A = this chain, B = another copy of it.
Amino acid sequence: MGMVGGGEGAFIGAVHRMAAALDGEIELVCGAFSADADRSTRSGAALHLPAERVYGDYQAMMVAEAALPAEQRMQFVAIVTPNHLHFPVAEAALRAGFHVMSDKPATFNLAEALQLRELVQETGLLYGLTHTYTGYPLVKEARERIQSGELGRIRRVVVEYPQGWLADRQEDEDNKQAAWRLDPARAGVSSCMGDIGVHAANLAEYVTGQKIIELCADLSAFVEGRELDDDGSILLRFDGGAKGILFASQLCVGEENALNIRVYGDKGGLEWHQQEPNTLWLKWADRPAEMLRTGAGYLGPLAAANTRTPGGHPEGYLEAFANLYMAFAGLVRAREKGVAPDERAADCPGIEEAVRGMTFIELAVAASASDTKWHVFDQH
């Protein structure tokens, strides 16, 4: 793979590289790691890449790689830039004939996401989106338990994603991660919902198998001087009849990355916490709650296929991330062999999640600004 973004000091670029490397199936062969050519060069060298495969900008990379013999060139592009560049880079890659694996949110705004979908359909190329948290084996198990009907008809969803790192003006303190996320020119219309709320919404839809159809939102920018939301609560209604709440915040002091989900059907409930990802709770009316654990023999095949170590050897965020890369690699391989992707590969989030995510972000912001209670979630 080739990488765009992720130069020295970037967080998510390194995560993508570790995730891609973990299973020994994906090799980083080139990159345009920074818009600053020197920084890109230094980054490439630190990654042991040959100088000629380290590019000063992504446009040059697409051209040069496309010109290489098929067996040498990169097979897909990983996009790990700030949000406003996701679309232009993806567009360039697709137009140059490369599959795309993109960090989320997919684009700067919904219009771009819709354009991107057209482009993906037009080129017939593959597009993956790193909604990381659906990469955890027990999130997959949760989804399968609900699909199997074990929990009955789903009624109630509680999904939440509190963080605390933006509780004060980090963006003034030379914190790059904070600065771009709170800058409308680079992040888009939302900070909290764009950065983390969208993960929560995606998780809720993935696990329940239901789509959001309506929402009512109350977003805030609690910290003075912020143009974008740093906290928000959203009431949700789903197409299968479930109702829910989604709560995301960047100012819950002391919280790290506490993405949690609870789902209740008429026969049972489940609960999962990202910070203890190797435990999934199933809850029942007339018998004890059960604690399912990653790596256990009683889990379904999809969870098993996404697990690397035996029970009790904890897997974490990088393993979940690597699962997305393995799924995407599976898609690429299946495409090359002209066969249907296997179950694990088919489970990779893609362009539909991209469009839904951007729809969610824009609708949440609009709904919060409105006096109207309910807002329809457009099923583009």
Contact = CB atoms under 8 A, between A and B. Distances in A.
Contacts of A295: 256
Interface stretch (A181-189, A246-254, A356-364): A246-254
A235 interface: yes
A347 to B, nearest CB: 21
Given A24-B47, A275-B312, A254 B269 contact: yes
A18 B24 contact: yes
A38 interface: no
Contacts of A35: none
A123 interface: no
Contacts of A158: 160, 162, 247
A289 interface: yes
A254 B231 contact: no
A71 B298 CA distance: 48
Contacts of A45: none
Contact of A285 (B17, B167, B247, B284): B167
Contacts of A233: 235, 243-245
A252 B264 contact: yes
A264 B287 contact: no
Contacts of A290: 287-291
A10 interface: no
A28 interface: yes
Given A155-B251, A243-B231, A286 B269 contact: no
A302 interface: no
Contacts of A160: 158
Given A21-B21, A266-B251, A314 B312 contact: no
Interface in A307-329: 308-319
Which residue, A165, A291, A371, has most C-beta atoms of chain B within 10 A? A291
A188 to B, nearest CB: 22
A129 interface: no
Interface residues of A, number: 88
A267 interface: yes
Contacts of A316: 278, 309, 313-316, 318-319
Contacts of A162: 158, 262, 264
Given A158-B160, A275-B278, A314-B314, A269 B253 contact: yes
A222 B155 contact: yes
A288 B283 CA distance: 12
Interface string A47-59: 1100000000000
A111 to B, nearest CB: 27
A247 B236 CA distance: 13
A63 interface: no
A373 interface: yes
A22 interface: yes
A276 interface: yes
A146 interface: no
Nearest to A164: B285
Which residue, A28, A156, A251, A282, has most C-beta atoms of chain B within 10 A? A156
14 contacts: A14-B308, A21-B23, A22-B22, A158-B160, A162-B264, A163-B312, A164-B264, A164-B269, A252-B262, A254-B282, A254-B289, A256-B310, A257-B310, A313-B318
Given A164-B283, A252-B262, A257-B312, 11 more contacts: A24-B28, A155-B222, A233-B244, A254-B269, A254-B285, A256-B310, A256-B313, A288-B298, A291-B291, A313-B318, A315-B318
